[in-house]
Amino acid sequence: MAYDRIRRNILPTLARRIEVHGLEHVPAHGPYIIVANHQSYTDPVQIAFPLIVERNVKVWFLTTEHIWKLSRRLGGERLMTWLGMIPIRESAKAESLEPALRRLQVGEILCIFPEGMRNKPKVNPQWEKVMLKGKTGTARLALATGVPVIPAGIVAPKGLTAFQAIKNYLQKRQPAEVRFGAPMNFSQTPESSFTKALLEEATKKMMLEISKLCGKAYPH
d(CA 103, CA 33): 11
Task: Report yes or no on whether pTM surpasses 0.85.
Answer: yes
Q: Which residue has the higher pLDDT, 33 or 48?
A: 33
Confidence of residue 105 (pLDDT cuts 50, 70, 90): very high
In a domain, 219, yes or no: no
In a domain, 131, yes or no: yes
- Cα dist from 209 to 5, 64, 101, 112, whole Å: 36, 24, 23, 14
In a domain, 220, yes or no: no
Per residue in 179-201, pLDDT (tens digit) is 999 999 999 999 889 999 999 99
In a domain, 103, yes or no: yes
Q: What pLDDT does 202 receive?
A: 97
Q: What pLDDT does 37 receive?
A: 96
pLDDT for 94 beyond 90: no
Rounded mean pLDDT, 118-125: 85
pLDDT for 5 beyond 60: no
Number of domain units in the chain: 1
Domain that holds residue 51: 2-214
Rounded mean pLDDT, 156-165: 66
| Other CB atoms within 10 A of residue 110 CB | 26
Cα 193 → chain centroid: 26
Rounded mean pLDDT, 137-163: 87
Phi, psi (degrees; rounded to nearest 5) at 33: -120, 130
pLDDT for 125 beyond 80: yes
Q: What pLDDT does 77 receive?
A: 66
In a domain, 179, yes or no: yes
CATH number of the domain that 208 lies in? 3.40.1130.10
Span between the terminal Cα atoms of the chain, in Å: 46
- List alpha helices for 106-155, DSSP H: 137-145
In a domain, 54, yes or no: yes
Rounded mean pLDDT, 162-172: 64
Handedness of CA 208, 214, 215, 220 (dihedral sign): negative
